[in-house]
Each structure stands twice: as C-alpha cells, then as structure tokens.
C-alpha cells in the first residue's frame, strides 16, 4: 500500500502564517483541521510551522511530507457523520532541541503573526531561566525568546505584533502565559521597550477547546487505510462536534482570518465565560460524576456507559435534570438556557459515539480535584435554586467515594478492587493525589455498621481543604450520600442504582 505524501496527494505549500508549539492529536484534530478547511475554501491561504519540544524526532511527519488524515466519525443531531480529510496545512515540523536557531529566524517573517500551543497543563507555568539557552527548557521561555527576536527584528512595530492563543485546558490560559512571559522578560532584563511592545502589541488570548480527538485502535487504523487506499502513520480520529472559543476583540478577529461567519465552530468574543462554564459543568462535570459508577458496574468506556440501560438513563437524567438547570446563562440567543440544553443533547450524542475509545480509567485521573472544580459549584447552585437534595448528583458522589476505596498500597501507588456484576474481580489504580487521604479514612468504616459510613461521609464532606467549602452543611446531603454508599456496600452498586432510579 502506498504511503501518504505530496506525490500521491499533491497540494501547494502556502505562506507560513502560524507558529504552533506542540504536535499532539488535539492540535491536529482541531486548530490544524480548521486551518485546512479555511485554506480549502480560500479564506486563509496560510500554513503552519510546528515546533516539537519533547524530542528531536520529526520523521513521522517528514516521512509523509507533513500530511496526515483526520477521520471524523460519529453522530450529530441524530445523524451519522463520516468524513475523511487529508490535512496539508503543516509546512514543516522543527525540533527545538536541534533547530532552535532556525526557529528563531522565523520571527523575522512578517506574515507570521499567530502563535498557538498545546503543551501540558503545567507547561504554562513560570520557570526562572535564561531565554538565551539553545533552546530554553520551558515553553514560556521558548515563547519569550521568540517574541524577543521578533521585537528586535521589527523594531517594536505595532503592525508586526502577534496574537498568542494557548489551547491548554487551563482556565485563563492566556493570562497565565502572559504572566509567565512578563516575569521572564524581567528576569532576563529584556528592557522597557520590549516590555512596552509586549504589553501593547502582543495579544494573549484565553481560549477554550472542545473536541474529543484520539489515535485509532490498530483495527480501526487498518480498516480506514483500506478504505482510503494509503498508509498513514499519523491517522487521527475525532468526533463531529468541535468548538474553539477565543477571547479577543476586532483586531484578534482580523488576524485570525481562518475564523469568520462561515465557521460558527470558532467563536471570538471579548467574554467566553459562558462557553467555558457550559463545558465545565455539563460535559466535564458529567464525566466526573458518572465515571465511578460506570466503572464500578464493570464498564470500560463512555460508549459502554451509553449502551448500558441503567447508566444511560442515569447520565441523561443527571445531565438534563440536575446539571443543566444550574448552569449560568445570559438570556440572549446563543447564550441562553436553550443553548445550554442543546449543548447537553450534543454531549449525549458525543458520549454515544462508538468510534472513540474514551476509557473511563483515563477520565479518573485526579478525580478528587476534578470533582471539586467541576461539580462543587453545581451542587451548591442546585440547593440555591431548588432547596432540595440532588439525588442523582448524590448517587454519583457516593460512587466516587467507593471508587476511592483503596485495598492496598504498593510503593506509593494505591489500588482499588471491585466485584463486577458479571462475576470476577477487577483491581484498578487510583491515580489521585488524595488516594492516601482516603486510604486512611476508609479504615474507619466498619462492615455492616451504617453509623461508621455516616461518620466517614460527614468527615469527608466537611473537609474545606478538599472542597473549598463545607458540603456537610447542605441540608440532607450527608445523609443521602451515606445512605447510597451504605447501600452500595451491602446490596451492591447495580441494585443501588436501580433503587435510586426507580
């Protein structure tokens, strides 16, 4: 089978207009995909230079002339979607470790005015270091070095300013990155003129990305390669739904010309909090509340949950009945209650997508921190609006506490154990910074002693360090969580779910 390259798929290399830090699937399946679409419609006519920082190996891209395939598979508004696109928007991939001087030379390109990134969540953090290393170690230092080279080459010109759009999944990612760059400029004594240019002519935009992008299984990869007739080692699978919300003004809109009225999936607005809050509460919050229950029932993926009669009913009722009503909205078209409800229905379609292997154990990473960030406010808002116990949130929270029950510890790693309904036992890792905390607290729970379960639940819910508030003061919440947890310990998880759902 022939390999994917520009001989088999000829496409012109367009002027380089974007510098991208990161080679991961999210960037390939969302920003790069959107640029490709804009290029094919004649709306952008620009290419992307990619910087790889993890190592110096770029062969996987160069062997394919920087081409790769995005396969969109799934359900959207009840209809099956199947679309395959060859992405030719990347002009070259450069290794920071071996090509740093060449990367800095790109700063002199007047057409290159956009920088995007997806390193890691901690990749935006400030690290005190020299930006004159070759290369600097941290991403903020690499970015500062690039911007300083830009400033030197353009003499502080306003017309040669830049727009920086980090896509790391961190709230206020643009502000965090700006703060790190400003600290590095001060530490490296880059001067007042650079600081002034940075302040007035480089726009750091907070942004939110929302699309599930995965690498295909070997079986899915082989099947698609047979379908398209070529070999692609960078094959990327994704869902139909996609959103990129960018905080910016008219100048940002002008510079990000790959996004216009024909791409409603890219939203550029001076306030993106509605989109951030909607995703955090509805999609991420639902993931965090449903993952433990699904896993304790012996399921492996989100799609498995949606095929399970009890879990699918639980997820849909939880999302539409208890989470959606608590999400703040602005009461204007596109940002009103109806928009939140439509988003929830879109999320349910996304959860049903059988083409994406979204593993529940992957979602479980740092479950405690996620529970606080994603669902703490939802629980309190539900009480404010309804003055009643949210019974489905309570069920999900009880399952979370049971999921956090470690049966042993080995070299600092904690493991839980469950008896699945089909028979047998599964041992799983609890990858959570608070695993040790729960390992100790669970030892206070005595078998067939409901009062010990109640005491354990009250102790956890009243811990302000965990939740940044006292959840134990919410009327009936401790009792409801303890009752569910005691039922799971005595009757089993499945029977408890059946009882709650009626």
pLDDT tens for 250-266 read 999 999 999 887 888 99
| C-alpha dihedral sign at 383, 387, 391, 395 | positive
Beta bridge partners of 245: 208, 267
Beta bridge partners of 87: 68
- pLDDT at residue number 282: 97
What is the distance between the alpha carbons of residues 124 and 444, in angstroms, rounded to a whole number? 40
Pair 60, 234: CB distance under 8 Å: yes
Residue with tokens 């498995």: 304
Rg of the Cα atoms in the chain:
25
| C-alpha dihedral sign at 103, 109, 112, 113 | positive
Q: Is 226 exposed, middle or buried (0-12, 13-18, 19+ CB in 10 A)?
A: exposed
What is the distance between the alpha carbons of residues 328 and 217, in angstroms, rounded to a whole number? 38
Element (DSSP H or E) covering residue 162: strand 162-166
Segments of 22-89 assigned E as strands? 47-52, 68-76, 79-87
pTM of the model: 0.84
**Per-position pLDDT tens, the chain of length 502:** 899 999 989 988 899 999 999 999 999 999 999 999 999 999 999 999 999 988 888 999 999 999 999 999 998 877 889 999 999 999 999 999 999 999 999 999 999 999 999 986 668 989 999 999 999 999 999 999 999 999 999 887 777 899 999 999 888 999 999 999 999 999 999 999 999 999 999 999 999 999 989 888 888 899 999 999 999 999 999 999 999 999 999 999 999 999 887 888 999 999 999 999 999 999 999 999 999 999 999 999 999 999 999 999 999 999 999 999 999 999 898 899 999 999 999 999 999 888 887 889 999 999 999 999 999 999 999 999 999 999 999 999 999 999 999 999 999 999 999 987 677 888 999 999 999 999 999 999 998 899 999 999 999 999 999 999 999 999 999 999 999 999 999 999 999 999 999 8
- pLDDT at residue number 121: 61
What is the distance between the alpha carbons of residues 430 and 415, in angstroms, rounded to a whole number? 6
CB count, 10 Å around CB of 10? 9
CA-based nearest residue to 138, from 127, 150, 151: 127
- pLDDT at residue number 250: 93
- pLDDT at residue number 159: 78
Residue 54 tokens, joined: 């993890």
Q: By three-state DSSP, how is residue 163 classified?
A: strand
- pLDDT at residue number 306: 96
CB count, 10 Å around CB of 404? 24
Q: By three-state DSSP, how is residue 128 classified?
A: coil
What is the distance between the alpha carbons of residues 414 and 438, in angstroms, rounded to a whole number? 10
- pLDDT at residue number 216: 86
Residue 426 tokens, joined: 């599964």
Q: How many helices (H) and strands (E) does the chain have?
A: 22, 16
Residue 135 tokens, joined: 């290369």
| Preceding peptide of 51 cis, ω within 30° | no
What is the distance between the alpha carbons of residues 488 and 375, in angstroms, rounded to a whole number? 22
What is the distance between the alpha carbons of residues 21 and 78, in angstroms, rounded to a whole number? 36
Residue with tokens 């739904």: 241
3-state secondary structure labels for all residues of 96-124: HHHHHHHHHHHHHCCCCCEEEECCCHHHH
| C-alpha dihedral sign at 151, 162, 127, 49 | negative
Beta bridge partners of 82: 73
């Amino acid at each position: 089978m022939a390999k994917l390259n520009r001989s088999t798929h000829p496409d012109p290399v367009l002027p380089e207009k974007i510098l991208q830090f990161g080679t991961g699937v999210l960037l390939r399946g969302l920003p790069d995909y959107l640029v490709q679409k804009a290029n094919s419609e004649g709306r952008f006519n620009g290419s992307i230079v990619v910087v790889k920082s993890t190592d110096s190996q770029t062969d996987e891209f160069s062997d394919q002339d920087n081409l790769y395939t995005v396969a969109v598979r799934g359900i959207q508004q009840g209809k099956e979607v199947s679309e395959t696109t060859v992405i030719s928007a990347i002009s070259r991939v450069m290794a920071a470790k071996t090509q740093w001087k060449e990367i800095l030379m790109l700063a002199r390109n007047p057409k290159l005015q956009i920088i995007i990134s997806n390193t890691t969540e901690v990749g935006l953090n400030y690290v005190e270091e020299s930006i004159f290393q070759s290369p600097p170690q941290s991403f903020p230092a690499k970015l500062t070095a690039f911007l300083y080279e830009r400033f030197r080459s353009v003499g502080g010109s306003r017309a040669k300013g830049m727009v920086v759009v980090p896509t790391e999944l961190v709230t206020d990612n643009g502000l965090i990155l700006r703060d790190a760059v400003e600290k590095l400029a001060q530490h490296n004594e880059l001067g007042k003129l650079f600081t002034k240019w940075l302040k007035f002519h480089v726009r750091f935009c907070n942004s939110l990305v929302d699309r599930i992008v995965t690498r295909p299984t070997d079986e899915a990869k082989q099947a698609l390669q047979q379908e398209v007739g070529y070999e692609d080692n960078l094959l990327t699978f994704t869902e139909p739904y996609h959103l990129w919300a960018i905080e910016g003004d008219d100048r940002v809109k002008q510079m990000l010309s790959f996004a216009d009225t024909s791409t409603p999936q890219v939203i550029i607005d001076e306030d993106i909090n509605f989109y951030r809050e909607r995703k955090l509460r509805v999609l991420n919050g639902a993931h965090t509340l449903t993952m433990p229950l699904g896993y304790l029932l012996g399921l492996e993926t989100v799609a498995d949950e949606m095929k399970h009669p009890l879990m699918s009913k639980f997820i849909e009722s939880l999302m539409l009945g208890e989470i959606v009503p608590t999400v703040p909205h602005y009461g204007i078209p596109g940002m009103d209650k109806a928009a939140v409800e439509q988003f929830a229905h879109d999320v349910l379609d996304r959860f049903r997508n059988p083409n994406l292997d979204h593993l529940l154990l992957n979602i479980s990473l740092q479950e405690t921190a996620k529970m606080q960030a994603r669902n703490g406010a939802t629980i309190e808002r539900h009480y404010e609006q309804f003055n009643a116990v949210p019974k489905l949130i309570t069920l999900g929270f009880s399952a979370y506490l049971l999921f956090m029950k470690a049966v042993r510890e080995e070299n600092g790693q904690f493991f839980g154990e469950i008896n699945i309904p089909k028979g047998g036992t599964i041992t799983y890792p609890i990858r959570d910074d608070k695993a040790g905390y729960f390992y100790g607290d669970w030892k206070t729970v005595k078998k067939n002693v409901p009062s010990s379960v109640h005491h354990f639940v009250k102790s956890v819910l009243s811990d302000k360090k965990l939740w940044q508030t006292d959840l134990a003061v919410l009327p009936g919440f401790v009792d409801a969580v303890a009752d569910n947890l005691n039922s799971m310990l005595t009757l089993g998880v499945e029977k408890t779910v059946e009882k709650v759902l009626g």
